[in-house]
Amino acid sequence: MGFLAPLAFGLALLVPVIVAMYLLKLRREEQTVSSTFLWQRMVRDVEANTPWQKLRRNILLLLQLLLLLALIAALARPYLLTTGITGNNLILIVDRSASMAATDAGGTRLAAAKHEALRLIDQLPDNGRATVIAVGGQMEVPASASSDRRELRQAIERLEIRNGGGSDLSQALALAGSLAAREFESEVAIISDGQVTIPDQATLPVPVQFFPIGSRADNVAISAFVLQPGQGGQTLFVQATNYGSAPVQRRMVVELDGALFNAYDFTLDPGQDRSIVADVPSTVRRATARLDGSDVLPLDDQAWATSGGTDKATVRIMTDGNRFLETAFSLLPGIQVTTVPTTTTTFTDTVALTVLDGVTPAPLPPGNLLFIGPLRSTELFSVTGALEFPASRPATGNEPLLRNVSVAEINVLRAAQLTKPVWARTVIDSDGGPMLLAGEQSGRRIGVLGFALQNSDLPLQIAFPVLMANLVGYLAPGQGSDAAQLQPGQPLVVPVPPDATRVTVTNPAGNVAELTPQNNQAVYGDTDALGVYTISIERPNADPLARATAVNLQNAGESRVAPRKQLSLFQAGGRVVTTAEERAGRSEFWRWLAWIALGVLIVEWLVYQRSALAWLRERWFTNRRGAPRRAGT
Amino acid sequence: MTSTPTSERLFDAAFLTKLDRLALVTKQVVAGALQGERRSPKRGASVEFADFKPYVAGDDFRQIDWNLYARMERFFLKLFVAEEELTVHLLVDTSRSMDWGQPNKLLYAKRAAGAMGYLALSKLDRVTLTAFGQERELKLPPQRSKRGVVPLFSFLTDIQPGTATHFAAVCKRYAQTARNAGPLLLCSDLMDEEWQAGLQALLSRRFEITLLHILAPQELNPQLEGDVRLLDAEGGASVDLTADLDLIRRYQRSLESWREEVGTYCTGRGINYIPIDTSYPIEDLLLNLLRQRGIVR
């Protein structure tokens, strides 16, 4: 503990002044009474009952001294060294991803993080400013360079768990870096459980403090849960994974359309998973799996699966013949493939997706497009040259298109050098430029793979069919069994027949939203809550179409809740491990002392006025009793 | 606390008028402890026949009923009801603690004693008055009949507040020296540690005691605030207090319990205990309160 203004202790000279004034004042007023006989009698009674009588006489003096001491202590501005911050401009990065919903920090980790954030805000110097960046799902900045404590507090209090989107720090760190560079004495504080994605090239010019949250790692999750059409019925596939560090015995209960189907007991070693495959009747529309018992993260202990539609999506492949492509697409469930020659110029029938294998037809076909090894620029993207032997790597972040795809093993001979257009995001990156782009432009989804399949060993790898399946799931959404599963936060895309009159989505909480179809599809974006979303499409002269999509937290990155005590970050000057250090912060508490002083002042006043208060109290009771009581005869 | 100057007329015209009216009102009814004309169990000289008694040597032969001797030829004495006069004892505490309060306690005591004395004198009783509080008690020689009113009142008027009470000693001496017992009116504030011993001493004679316990309103409901040092009017130990309402309430409770204690003590011993505060009109005291208590019928 230290004092910022120790000179204030000079005011302690006022203590003897007060005492002296008190002694001078304590020349008691002398009053003659007929006899002190009665008073002595009373004092005897009182002193026999209240040993504090002597103290009572001096209580005002004591209170005044206490008040003075509290004021002096407050003016001396005492502080405690704590884990915290010293800067003037604080940039708070608060993790609100699904793993922060773990309940091992006295409440949820998010609550603990909020508490920590509020504590840091309190440590800010009086003119200090803070920016709050919420990481998890879409990055948000609820409070920007604000010195208004109330606004900052509200911004922090309002943070809520985002189930989807993982926890990618790259954007937040980039923003924090640019914010910090503008201000003097900036400091970045990351409050997280450490289950975050950190970019390799993030460099921050300012000190970074990491405040770890969370203590336990035991978590079992339902890591996969699918209901797929199978032989003469449907196949239910469910997988539970132990992400913790100790063997766990759990029971999984599976319900079909609300009725209990089966319960499975199993013991899982750390890191082990257990898969269950069961045949279920084709009439089952919805299945629920639930892990009994409790672990740190309850969000992933429950999963839903819905029966996918049986209608098939048509994929048009424009190729001069590509066995790899045709095979991969024909193996995908719920997909019907039509092949057209590269010379085709007019496209009449609407299809879900057109794959352009090495061709860029002058008017691009309507609908969603997947370019493979484009040779020329189009109106959607530009090809600026060619790359020889580019080393590909996945883009940072939790990219859903790269689910179960290992990118590092792909070798590419030659690829088109692409420039990233504004609508697209990089899925596979390389030193020379993006290798795979994906994104949405004016209502259509576009994918661009930079290299031709024959120029790489991708088709020979396991990653190929998986990547193709992921791409088709993204580019031709709402088709087949893939459409029955979504990651939280992913937009729910519904193919809508042209004659539909009304499209509504009911979310797990029961709220109904009406969608406006565009280009024969409707998009519903608010899918952060876990559960089953029901889509209803009304058509004239026909029964409404009903579909359901399950949103599950099947994200290994979030289910792996083991907290990390330190984060590794590139900082200016090399790779530096940053972690919360003792002594870093200085928390002043003069406000509390000032409050205490105020309290003592109030108490002193009450004591001084106790006669009047007692009189008021007596009046009050007399009035309530209704009959005034006379003292004396 | 302001004390009423003793120079204030004790018995002003208004009070005397009231007293006269009181005497009229009580003419037929004054009785009880302070009754003067009353039958005595002794036989004595009066006009009312009581009994006959055979003569024995030594009897007053003037009382022999000669008519009866003529008929019976034996001597009988004719006995008449004796009309005994009573001595009404008035004791007034004039210690300095009594000279206090608004209205003044001593003045009140004087008036009460004067009024009772006046009533007794008007009934032809003997009245003796003793003021204690000085080094030596001041005694008014026994007075009889209305002629005694003037000395009684002038004696009361001349009484000056004394110094301190030695209540028990005074009472003891009085009990020893009083010639004959009778109704006794004691006007005091009993502000003395030894009040019990004093009353006990008086009880040793067959006095019919009425205790007029006089307190000032300022004693019943003291107006104190803040840090005060209470000085004893009689020169006793001073008391330092930080007065607040709570303390006043406790004082009042203590006072109340003290009065109850005195009251219990008195009723247990056949003493008429009348707690009174000086704001109570003296006419009401004589006409109502004493009548209710059976001291005046």
How is chain B split into domains, by residue range? Answer: 13-36+85-292, 42-83
Q: Name the more confident of B294 and A96.
A: A96
Q: Which residues pair with A447 in a beta bridge?
A: A370, A438
Residue A81, strand partner residues: A586
pLDDT of residue A57: 64
The tokens describing A307, both together, are 């029966």
The predicted pLDDT at position B81 comes to 58
Min CA distance, A46 vs chain B (Å)?
8
Q: How far is CA A296 from the centre of its chain?
A: 16
For residue B181, give every residue at least 6 positions away whose Cβ sits within 8 Å of its Cβ, in sequence order, or none. Answer: B87, B205, B206, B207, B208
Rounded CA-CA distance A546/A544 in Å is 6
Q: Determine whether the interchain pair B227/A28 forms a contact, defined as Cβ–Cβ distance below 8 Å.
A: yes
Q: Which CATH class is domain B13-36+85-292?
A: alpha beta
Which stretch of DSSP H or E encloses residue B213? strand B208-215
CB contact under 8 A, A46 and B250: yes
Which helix (H) or strand (E) segment holds residue B82: the answer is strand B76-84
CB contact under 8 A, A633 and B258: no
**CA-angle at A46, arms to A44 and A47, nearest 5°:** 65
User: Which tokens sit at A12?
Assistant: 């302690």
Interface of A with B (CB under 8 A): 26, 28-43, 45-46, 56-57, 610-612, 614-615, 618, 631-633
CA distance A335 to A313: 5
User: With pLDDT > 90 as the criterion, what percentage of chain A qualifies?
Assistant: 6
What mean pLDDT comes out for the span A521-532? 84
Is B258's Cβ below 8 Å from some Cβ in A?
yes
The values of phi and psi at residue B51, to 5°, are -165, 170
Structure confidence by residue, pLDDT tens digits, A150-194:
888 999 998 888 887 777 788 888 888 888 887 777 888 888 888
Whole-number Å distance between alpha carbons of A358 and A414: 13
Q: How far apart are CA A610 and CA A526, in angstroms?
A: 61
Per-residue confidence band for B264, with pLDDT thresholds at 50, 70 and 90: very high
B289 inside 8 A of chain A by CB? no
Mean pLDDT is highest, among A223-227, A403-407, B55-59, B257-261, for: B257-261
Hey, are the CB atoms on A42 and B238 less than 8 Å from each other?
A: no
Could you tell me which of A594, A604, A609, A605 has the C-alpha nearest to residue A65?
A604
Rg of the Cα atoms in chain B: 23
Contacts of A614 in chain B (CB under 8 A): 244-246, 249
Residue of B nearest to A58 (CA): B242
pLDDT above 50 (res B7):
no
pLDDT surpassing 50 at residue B29: no
Q: What is the pLDDT of residue B4?
A: 41
A348-377 per-position pLDDT tens digit = 777 778 898 888 887 888 888 899 988 888
Residues B231 and A34: their CA atoms lie apart, in Å, by: 8
Contacts of residue B242 in chain A, CB cutoff 8 Å? 56-57
User: Hey, what CATH topology would domain A313-479 get?
Assistant: Rossmann fold (3.40.50)
**pLDDT surpasses 90 at A225:** no
Measured between beta carbons, the chain A residues lying within 8 angstroms of B228 are: 28-31
Res A334: pLDDT: 72
Do the Cβ atoms of A35 and B232 come within 8 Å? yes
Q: Where are the domains of chain A?
A: 2-80+590-625, 84-215+563-581, 313-479
Residues of chain A contacting residue B277, judged by C-beta atoms under 8 Å apart: 632-633
Nearest to A513 by CA among A522, A502, A505, A501: A505
CA B241 to chain centre: 36
Please answer yes or no on whether A43 and B239 come within 8 Å at the CB atom: yes
- How much is the average pLDDT of A43-66? 71
Count how many pairs of residues, chain A against chain B, have C-beta atoms within 8 Å. Answer: 120
pLDDT tens digit sequence for A108-161? 889 999 998 888 888 787 778 889 999 887 888 888 888 888 888 999 998 888
B32 touches chain A (CB under 8 A): no
Which B residues 170-199 touch A at CB under 8 Å?
189, 191-193
Judge whether A84-215+563-581 and A313-479 match in fold: yes
Look up the CATH number of domain A84-215+563-581.
3.40.50.410
B217 at interface of A, judged by CB pairs closer than 8 A: yes
**Min distance B84 CA to chain A CA atoms (Å):** 38
Which pLDDT band, with edges at 50, 70 and 90, does A201 fall under?
low
Query: Is the pLDDT confidence value at A52 over 60?
Result: no
| Whether B232 contacts chain A with CB within 8 A | yes
In the prediction, which pLDDT does A448 show?
92
From chain B, pick out residues whose CB is under 8 angstroms from the CB of A31: 1, 224, 228-231
How close A63 gets to chain B, by Cα (Å)?
16
> A593-629, pLDDT tens digit by residue?
999 999 999 999 988 887 788 888 888 988 887 654 4
Measured CA to CA, the distance from residue B126 to residue B157 in angstroms comes to: 20
Average pLDDT, chain A: 82
Cα-Cα end-to-end distance for chain A: 63
What 3 state SS string does A560-597 have?
CCCCCCCEEEEECCEEEEECCCCCCEEEECHHHHHHHH
Q: Return the higher-pLDDT residue of A625 and B154.
A: B154
B252 to A632: CB separation less than 8 angstroms, yes or no: yes
DSSP code string of A481-526:
GGGGEE-TTS-EEEE--TT--EEEEE-TT--EEEE--BTTEEEE--
Average of per-residue pLDDT across A506-525: 83
- Pairwise pLDDT comparison (B279 vs B7), residue with the higher score: B279
Residue to mutate among A24, A42, A615, with most B CBs inside 10 A, is: A42
pLDDT for B266 equals 92
Residues 6+ apart with CB under 8 A from B204: B175
A623 Cα to chain B: minimum distance (Å): 18
Q: Amino acid identity of B123?
A: K
d(CA A316, CA A348): 12
Average pLDDT of the segment spanning B218-238: 83
B107–chain A nearest CA distance, Å? 14
pLDDT at B33 over 50: no
Q: Is the pLDDT of residue A518 over 80?
A: no
Statement: residue B146 has pLDDT above 50: yes
Contact list, B234 vs chain A (CB under 8 Å): 35
Yes or no, beta carbons of A36 and B245 under 8 Å apart? no
- Asked if A614 and B244 come within 8 Å (Cβ–Cβ), the reply is yes
Res B242: pLDDT: 75
Interface membership of B2 toward A (CB under 8 Å): no
Give the list of residues 6+ apart from residue B269 with CB closer than 8 angstroms, or none: B199, B203
Flag if B254 and A38 touch (Cβ within 8 Å): yes
Percentage of chain B surpassing pLDDT 70? 83
* Global pTM value: 0.52
Question: A30 and B231 in contact by Cβ < 8 A?
Answer: yes
Mutation for A interface: B238, B258, B273, most A CBs within 10 A: B238
pLDDT at B281 (0 to 100)? 86
Name the residue of chain B whose CA is nearest to A56's CA.
B242
- What is the DSSP secondary-structure string of A128-194? -EEEEEEESSS-EEEEEEE--HHHHHHHHHT---B-SS--B-HHHHHHHHHHHHHSTTEEEEEEE-S
Chain A residues within 8 A of B105 when measuring between CB atoms:
34
Record the tokens describing residue A117, joined without a space: 């954030």
pLDDT of residue B28: 41
Q: B280 CB near a chain A CB, below 8 Å?
A: yes
- Can you tell me the ipTM of this complex? 0.73
Higher pLDDT, B175 or A58: B175
Task: Determine the pLDDT at residue B36.
Answer: 43
CA atoms within 13 A on the CB side of A290: 14
Token pair 């009439």: residue: A283
Chosen for mutation from A23, A39, A616 (greatest number of chain B CBs closer than 10 Å) is A39
Contact, A199 vs A173, CB < 8 A? yes
Task: State pLDDT tens for residues A466-475.
Answer: 888 888 888 8
User: What six digits make up the tokens of B290?
Assistant: 């004493």
What pLDDT shows up at residue B31? Answer: 40
Of the partner residues A34, A42, A611, the one whose CB lies closest to the CB of residue B191: A34
pLDDT in tens, A35-50: 888 888 777 766 665 5
DSSP state of A283: T
The long-range contacts involving A233-236, CB below 8 angstroms and separated by at least 24 positions, are A233/A279, A233/A280, A233/A281, A233/A282, A234/A279, A234/A280, A234/A281, A234/A282, A234/A284, A234/A307, A235/A277, A235/A278, A235/A279, A235/A280, A236/A276, A236/A277, A236/A278, A236/A279, A236/A280, A236/A284, A236/A287, A236/A305
pLDDT at site A498:
75
Of all residues in chain B, the one with the smallest CA distance to A40 is B239
Comparing CB atoms, the residue among A32, A40, A46 nearest residue B233 is A32
**Which tokens belong to B56?**
């024995």
Point out which residues pair with B187 in neighbouring strands.
B92, B212
**Contact yes or no for B252 and A57 at CB 8 A:** no
* Structure-token match 């004082």, residue found: B251
**Beta-sheet strand order (sheet of B87-93):** B138-143, B126-132, B87-93, B183-188, B208-215, B272-277
Question: Per the CB < 8 Å rule, is A39 touching B231?
Answer: no
Of B213, B219, B242, which is closest to residue B1 (Cα–Cα)? B219
Whole-number pLDDT of residue A298? 85
Q: pLDDT tens-digit profile of B107-122? A: 899 888 988 888 888 7
Q: Is the pLDDT of residue B15 over 70?
A: yes
Beta carbons of A620 and A90 less than 8 angstroms apart: no
Residues of A in contact with B236 (CB under 8 A): 35-37
DSSP state of B136: S
> Do residues A123 and A85 make contact, with C-beta atoms less than 8 angstroms apart?
yes
Per-residue confidence band for A574, with pLDDT thresholds at 50, 70 and 90: low
| Structure tokens, A55 | 């103290």
* Average of per-residue pLDDT across B54-61: 86
- A213 pLDDT tier (thresholds 50, 70, 90): confident
The pLDDT of residue A308 is: 65
Instruction: Determine the residue among B239, B258, B280, B289 to mutate to test chain A binding: the one whose Cβ has the most chain A Cβ atoms within 10 Å.
Output: B239
Is the minimum CB–CB distance between B223 and chain A shorter than 8 Å?
no
Instruction: Check residue A116 and give left, alpha or beta (phi > 0: left; psi -120 to 50: alpha).
Output: alpha
Please report, as a single letter, which amino acid is at residue B261. E
Which of B219, B228, B258 lies closest to A31 in CB terms?
A: B228
